[in-house]
Amino acid sequence: MSQNVFAPWDDPNAKPLIRFQNVTKRFGEFVAIDDLTLDIFEQEFFALLGPSGCGKTTMMRMLAGFENISAGRIELSGQDIGKVPPNKRAVNMMFQSYALFPHLSVWENIAFGLKRDRKSKEQIDARVAEMLKLTRLEKFAHRKPHQISGGQRQRVALARSLAKAPKLLLLDEPLGALDKKLRQDTQFELMDIQEQTGTTFVIVTHDQEEAMTVASRVAVMDEGRIIQVATPSAIYEYPNSVYVADFIGDVNIIEGKAKPAGEELFHLEWAEGRAPVKAASQQPFSEGQTAHLAIRPEKIRISTEKPEEAVNLFEGKVLDIAYLGNLSTYHVELPSGQVIKAQTANTRRLARRDITWEDPVWISWSATAGVMLDR
């Protein structure tokens, strides 16, 4: 069963397509990329995720060849590409602004790169037709970019960057300019196209939902460093730091002092005079070490009556309710003043909801619901 899972990063013999080796990039005094090492494998859909200014765009521009590296080495299929100019790299980029040539038609935009390769007219015609079909743009081949919609422009940009069949396609915030509904549809389209063409995609985004949806692996970046690289589910369920836990999705962080309480079990002393939080962790913590328990709101149960048995059980008062339609997030204030978010699916109609503001409630979670983090 597990042999069909696509996970070359777990295979020690797999050769990466791209290899960043201790890459540093400085702009004057400012360090944009700080001694970064990373492997990206063939056919991956790799997402670089981080807040603006974290260096993700700089990394992409180094791959495209628009930025020189200050130190270190970048390899593409085992070859150092540090000195190769952008027009000589088997790498294409889809720009955030799409950068479609306004004076050329959709057809000519897609053919632009092919013509530079001095391909024959038949080859160009065939390849452009293939790209138009892939992106469902056949009807718009002779329109100019300003005569089509934003979503169509996005597809032209994708078709143009894929036309040369690059080893690596870079996508800089490819869906940033689309509205939410269209963006969701396009995410699946992108995944389909990536699968059909077998091209390695590297996507830069600040939208964590987008990264989680499309990517095979996600790299969370901050201040020029990669904090964690893992599959979307691993990033969500097993963040390696408070930063990642907080950046991806919603999370409750409970800070306290760890105290070993059995095999892979710890007590977290988090407030004077209150029962400790019990949490399981494979990572060892010494007595008195500061630890953060990161726990997702949907893993916390909320009820009006005291549950029979619960590993962690606290009483509190509903401070706020965020109604999201399918879900509701309850902000529960504990007597210590700490606010814990608990999320439940709205399986009942709103009118029949039994919890409302100022209600005393019980929140509970299991020992394995959260992750204990040392930073």
Going by their DSSP bridges, the two strands 45-49 and 217-222 should be labelled as: parallel
Between 142 and 353, CB nearer to another protein: 142
Between 67 and 255, CB nearer to another protein: 67
Supply 223's token pair. Answer: 């201040």
Supply 82's token pair. Answer: 């540090």
Contact 370, 312 (CB under 8 A): no
Between 47 and 114, CB nearer to another protein: 114
Q: How many residues in the shown chain lie near another protein by CB under 8 A?
A: 24
Contact 313, 306 (CB under 8 A): yes
Q: Considering the complex, what minimum distance in angstroms separates the CB of residue 114 from another protein?
A: 9
Annotate each residue in 153-192 with x if it binds another protein (CB under 8 A) or - if it does not, as one string.
-------xx--x----------------------------
Q: In the chain, how long is the greatest CA-to-CA distance?
A: 80
Between 204 and 300, CB nearer to another protein: 204
Measured at the alpha carbon of residue 237, what is the angle toward residues 191 and 251, in degrees to the nearest 5? 105
Closest CA to 110 of 126, 96, 86: 126
Q: Considering the complex, what minimum distance in angstroms separates the CB of residue 88 from another protein?
A: 8
Residues 78-117 that bind another protein (CB under 8 A): 85-87, 91-93, 95-97, 99, 101-103, 112-113, 116-117
Between 85 and 273, CB nearer to another protein: 85
What single-letter DSSP state applies at residue 276? P
Contact 101, 87 (CB under 8 A): no
Neighbours of 370 (CB within 10 A): 26
Beta bridge partners of 39: 19
Burial bucket for residue 228 (CB in 10 Å: 0-12, 13-18, 19+): buried
Beta bridge partners of 46: 202, 217
Q: Considering the complex, what minimum distance in angstroms separates the CB of residue 87 from another protein?
A: 5
Q: Considering the complex, what minimum distance in angstroms separates the CB of residue 57 from another protein?
A: 12
Q: Which of 121, 146, 181, 349 binds another protein (CB under 8 A)?
A: 146
Q: Considering the complex, what minimum distance in angstroms separates the CB of residue 95 from another protein?
A: 5
Residues 227-286 that bind another protein (CB under 8 A): none
Between 93 and 175, CB nearer to another protein: 93
Annotate each residue in 53-72 with x if it binds another protein (CB under 8 A) or - if it does not, as one string.
-----------xxx------
Task: Tell me the C-alpha distance between 14 and 43, whole Å.
Answer: 12
Residues that bind another protein (CB under 8 A): 64-66, 85-87, 91-93, 95-97, 99, 101-103, 112-113, 116-117, 146, 160-161, 164
